[in-house]
Structure 1
Amino acid sequence: MASAMSVFSLLVSSLLLALFSPGAQADVKRYQFDIVMRNVSRLCHEKSMVTVNGRYPGPTMYAREGDRIIVNVTNHVEYNMTIHWHGLKQRRNGWVDGPAYVTQCPVRSGASYTYDFNVTGQRGTLWWHAHIAWMRATVHGAIVVLPAAGVPYPFPKPDDEAEVVILGEWWNADVETVERQGRMLGMAPNMSDAHTVNGKPGPLFPCSQKHTYVLQVQRGKTYLLRVINAAVNDELFFSIAGHTMTVVEIDATYTKPFVASTILLSPGQTTNVLVRANQRPGRYFMVAKPFNGVPIPADNQMATAILQYAGVPTSVVPSLPQLMPETNNTDFVTAFQDKLRSLNSPQYPANVPLAVDRHLLYTIGLNIDPCASCLNQSRLAASLNNITFVMPRTALLQAHYYGLKGVFTADFPDRPPARFNYTGAPLTTGLGTSLGTRLSKITYNTTVELVLQDTNLVSAESHPFHLHGYNFFVVGRGVGNFDPANDPAKYNLVDPPERNTVGVPAGGWTAIRFRADNPGVWFMHCHLEVHTSWGLKMAFLVEDGSGPDESVLPPPKDLPKC
């Protein structure tokens, strides 16, 4: 491993367009984020790492609903790189979505690429991250989209917006090396060595230096915390000792407020909460720890930060949270998810598709495939509908736009080719999984219902799935096998949660609905990076419509070449 610090430099300028009355010309403000190279604060082990502007986590980007954002990315490291703007829909403009070999070829070492996009019809907390291999472990940061000028929050106005809280994972080694070693052995890569809160693990880890994030508050004030799970492979609980949180937003969509002592975030998800600093002045631990609903080896390390009242000396011992859920507490997770409801107000309606044009059922499988070069002559793999997705060497969107042949086929099956008792006794032999770069073609404006069904192939596991280019409504979920005759009657079609990333419960299913009104090629994958790297991914090819604003925009001139 190189001893010098590797820095992936991100040069960001933002054109923020303040919104006025219809027809009025928007004000334009320009911001420049300077590229810097400096040492990143080290945790329990000294290593080189890839960062943005020399920071871990990277810089927070601020915009307002309706703004235009321009980001120039310059790659100064040896690895290929892309940036994904997680949760931004990028209407008709998949060229800036960011997943490598899906919507663009990577930015090579020494090269640059300008991401130029509008923030349309969205506001709230999102995030950006690298979207190639495991680089998002350290290459990530927050996106804060404020409401349009003069538009209030649909919940009590906080006294202050506290800093963004980013939950992450840390390896005492280069993450690309960790992933590569696991792949060569045919096994799961090593689990992370620590969890972090804003890049710091807290004093409970056995580090010579106790790096701890501290959030200072004033007693009596209410704060809006923007919490992001940027972990690579872990779903995380988050709580604050002695304090409750009022959930008001998930994945940049407003929710019906409810109070929680602990919240759960899958990798890729964001949650905004209101916190009232109403306790005795002191120091209180903020804690992030993993959720794992199945009895397999799991990372159980707890990261801590401190919520500190102004005027309290740092010598005061922080209070630990009480009654945090156990790592395998699926009942708590189910109850928490049951409380998530869209706001569904006149200003922010829940436009749930009621009539469905296309019904899809995708089974999630873990496989054991033969591998002559691996330690055990086999390797772990993953599949959707028995297909382990193979990444092309030409970006799928480019192949679609230019009509290139031989890059992909548009025949991804709507249902699994083999039906069985998906969540019954474990099946360790697999069901004839195939390799392929196969897309699902969808006619423009089609309403889609997709049921994601976990299986007990090798092992049942929970899976957070992220769909690029869209939000969707989580209309139902359950344990066991999805029953198409009876389960739809239990759907919430009034105010289901609207998200861009959703968890599929271990040994269960989740049903989502969306309208395919954003043309292009849009990635869908498990947001556990280990499963994505094993092939648990696919893509939708949404065809152009017939109207003038219903087709993919032309590609930018500086689009990277493969």
Structure 2
Amino acid sequence: MGKGNKCGLASSLLCLCFFGFFSAPAKAALKKYQFDIQVKNISRLCHAKPIVTVNGMFPGPTIYAREGDRVLVNVTNHAKYNMSIHWHGLKQYRNGWADGPAYITQCPIKTGKSYTYDFNITGQRGTLWWHAHIFWLRATVYGAIVILPKQGTPFPFPQPYRESNIILGEWWNNDVEALVKQGNQLGLPPNTSDAHTINGKPGPLFACSEKHTFAMEVEQGKTYILRIVNAALNDELFFAIAGHNMTVVEIDAVYTKPFTTQAILIAPGQTTNVLVQATQSPGRYFMAARPFMDAPISVDNRTATAILQYKGIPNSVLPVLPQLPAPNDTAFALSYNAKLKSLNSPLFPANVPSKVDRHLFYTIGLGINSCPTCLNGTRLTASLNNITFVMPQIGLLQAHYFNIKGVFRTDFPDRPPTPFNYTGAPLTANLGTTLGTRASKIAFNSTVELVLQDTNLLAAESHPFHLHGYNFFVVGTGVGNFDPKNDTVKFNLVDPPERNTVGVPTGGWVAIRFRADNPGVWFMHCHLELHTGWGLKTAFVVENGKGRDQSVLPPPKDLPPC
């Protein structure tokens, strides 16, 4: 363990250490964790406030495991809110019961109740994360997942000396659930966050926050791996370290072809691992994060900072700030994302589907609907293919598994009902937006190509989309309207980036491919919590296969009731 890190890793105990460095456990095993959801007073800016936490920690504890481990996490809810936990990026093969999104794969854990998430980690290694998946509670309920390779399997890059988790987030001075409720009553977005954070702390650029700064100590000449998670609710973020380059080696727990950069771009839901060499003049250097937004939309544009400090340097030395890209630097964003490519080595191949069985084209739209109960008389809404998703009152997976009628329909359209110039002049019409709990049925083991197209309905904006239960390959992206004739010939089918969350560029499109080999009901949604709440979401119902091990597993006995 790193200096000052005294936790053990006994299989029956929860390791509460989540700052600093981590050394590998001895072998693959059964890992048991206890998550107690509770309210605790936490101070981050000028005063303390009660927030929902896990084990009284903010951020919550890190799950440490090894590829091949079985993990059991017993979640007991002591808070006043219903709760569910999503293990973001874990594929949960045949086991949607452990995926976590409320009213999609489970009903929430009610106050005073418990539920044990029981899952295997198969064929995955790297950095993922977990978070609350109900309302806006993931503002404070989140933590990292670190999956080490199997014993004897080295990293496909130089072995780092040590590692550290860097979790980027947002902080509200007021109760975020109360702000959301107030916004819904007005028919407007809630207030933007009051600060960004690094490992739960905003850094010394904020008033009253000098003591709330994360610092990591490094030794001259050593190489470190930073496991970076964007847990922010609504902001894509730039991240950089003053005076130090970073080498990107992994995204969303998939190894990449290494490349060096002065800054990274990371969307909500995404993870990025970088190597950093401590080869600069000994001193104190700021790590910094601030939003990327290339649309005329209000965001919290304040910069969070942490400190990279060389061993032996006193705290009195003033840190140096990094040069971050401009907040609207679209050119950097597009260039950075274009550099991301799968490693595609014999050990870690990129199995990109070359033949497509099902072509899907989904348009992303924002709009304004009538709302007689709202003070403004209208409410902002969001849709895919002109459908605003309505959350059910029972989990979709339960309804699917037990064949409960009337909960949802499987007629989500493959294409928008009304084609138009998607990224042309700004439009204010909703183009016939309808409400519904509608999903798309997908044949088992079929290959799917999905094009997500941003539109200028109300406003063009970047949207990070997350698909549960799967990784996918990002085979193409562009600005403007997708051209099925000319854009497809430029697809990368050799080494495209493989991930679970992808950013649809502002006024542009992205194309992904995946093989539907995981039966169950799998959520897909914008990872901007604001837009998810407005209905920018849907689900895939992947049918069972014919093989013995190709059907959804039976539900656990302690599955929360509705």
TM range (shorter): over 0.9
Shift of 1:46: 2.2
Shift of 1:296: 2.2
Residues 479-521 of structure 1: per-residue CA shift (max 9 Å, x gap) = 1100011100010000000000000001000000000000000
Using the alignment, how far apart are the partners of 1:182 and 1:489 within structure 2? 45
Using the alignment, how far apart are the partners of 2:506 and 2:33 within structure 1? 44
Using the alignment, how far apart are the partners of 1:280 and 1:41 within structure 2? 34
Using the alignment, how far apart are the partners of 1:363 and 1:177 within structure 2? 31
Q: In the alignment, what sits opposite 1:7?
A: none
Using the alignment, how far apart are the partners of 1:65 and 1:111 within structure 2? 30
Q: In the alignment, what sits opposite 1:121?
A: 123
Specify the SS of the correspondent of 1:40. strand
Q: In the alignment, what sits opposite 2:57?
A: 55
Shift of 1:295: 2.0
Given that residues 33 and 74 in structure 2 are in contact (C-alpha distance below 8 angstroms), is that contact kept between their aligned partners in structure 1?
Answer: no
Q: Which of 141, 144, 161 matches 1:142?
A: 144
Using the alignment, how far apart are the partners of 1:238 and 1:441 within structure 2? 39
Using the alignment, how far apart are the partners of 1:554 and 1:272 within structure 2? 35
Number of residue pairs matched? 543
Give matches, 1:75-154, under 5 Å.
75-154=77-156
1:430 aligns with 2:430: yes
Identity level (%): 70
Bigger drift between 98-107 and 180-189 goes to 180-189
AA partner of residue 294 (structure 2)? G
Given that residues 440 and 541 in structure 2 are in contact (C-alpha distance below 8 angstroms), is that contact kept between their aligned partners in structure 1?
Answer: yes
AA partner of residue 84 (structure 1)? H
Given that residues 28 and 65 in structure 2 are in contact (C-alpha distance below 8 angstroms), is that contact kept between their aligned partners in structure 1?
Answer: no
Give matches, 1:282-361, under 5 Å.
282-322=283-323, 324-361=324-361
Task: Say if 1:252 and 1:79 are closer, same or farther in 2 by CA, change over 3 A.
Answer: same
Shift of 1:55: 0.4
Q: In the alignment, what sits opposite 2:402?
A: 402
Using the alignment, how far apart are the partners of 2:62 and 2:12 within structure 1? 10
Using the alignment, how far apart are the partners of 1:496 and 1:195 within structure 2? 31
Normalised to the residue count of structure 2, the TM-score between the two structures is 0.94
Give matches, 1:17-56, under 5 Å.
28=29, 39-56=41-58
Given that residues 68 and 119 in structure 1 are in contact (C-alpha distance below 8 angstroms), is that contact kept between their aligned partners in structure 2?
Answer: yes
Task: Say if 1:428 and 1:241 are closer, same or farther in 2 by CA, change over 3 A.
Answer: same
Q: In the alignment, what sits opposite 2:19?
A: none
Shift of 1:33: 5.1
Shift of 1:430: 1.6
Given that residues 37 and 75 in structure 2 are in contact (C-alpha distance below 8 angstroms), is that contact kept between their aligned partners in structure 1?
Answer: no
Shift of 1:39: 4.5
Gaps of 5+ in 1: 1-10, 21-25
Specify the SS of the correspondent of 1:50. strand
Task: Say if 1:29 and 1:376 are closer, same or farther in 2 by CA, change over 3 A.
Answer: closer
Using the alignment, how far apart are the partners of 1:130 and 1:350 within structure 2? 31
Gaps of 5+ in 2: 1-10, 16-23
Q: In the alignment, what sits opposite 1:472?
A: 472
Using the alignment, how far apart are the partners of 2:322 and 2:68 within structure 1? 40
Specify the SS of the correspondent of 2:435. strand
Give matches, 1:4-19, under 5 Å.
none
Task: Say if 1:76 and 1:453 are closer, same or farther in 2 by CA, change over 3 A.
Answer: same
Residues 285-338 of structure 1: per-residue CA shift (max 9 Å, x gap) = 00000000112222211000000001000000001113x210000000011011
Using the alignment, how far apart are the partners of 1:547 and 1:13 within structure 2? 37
AA partner of residue 185 (structure 1)? L
Residues 320-358 of structure 1: per-residue CA shift (max 9 Å, x gap) = 113x21000000001101100000000000000000000
Specify the SS of the correspondent of 1:275. strand
Task: Say if 1:30 and 1:238 are closer, same or farther in 2 by CA, change over 3 A.
Answer: closer
Normalised to the residue count of structure 1, the TM-score between the two structures is 0.94
Q: In the alignment, what sits opposite 2:267?
A: 266
AA partner of residue 245 (structure 2)? T
1:364 aligns with 2:364: yes
Task: Say if 1:12 and 1:393 are closer, same or farther in 2 by CA, change over 3 A.
Answer: farther
AA partner of residue 293 (structure 1)? D
Shift of 1:44: 3.0
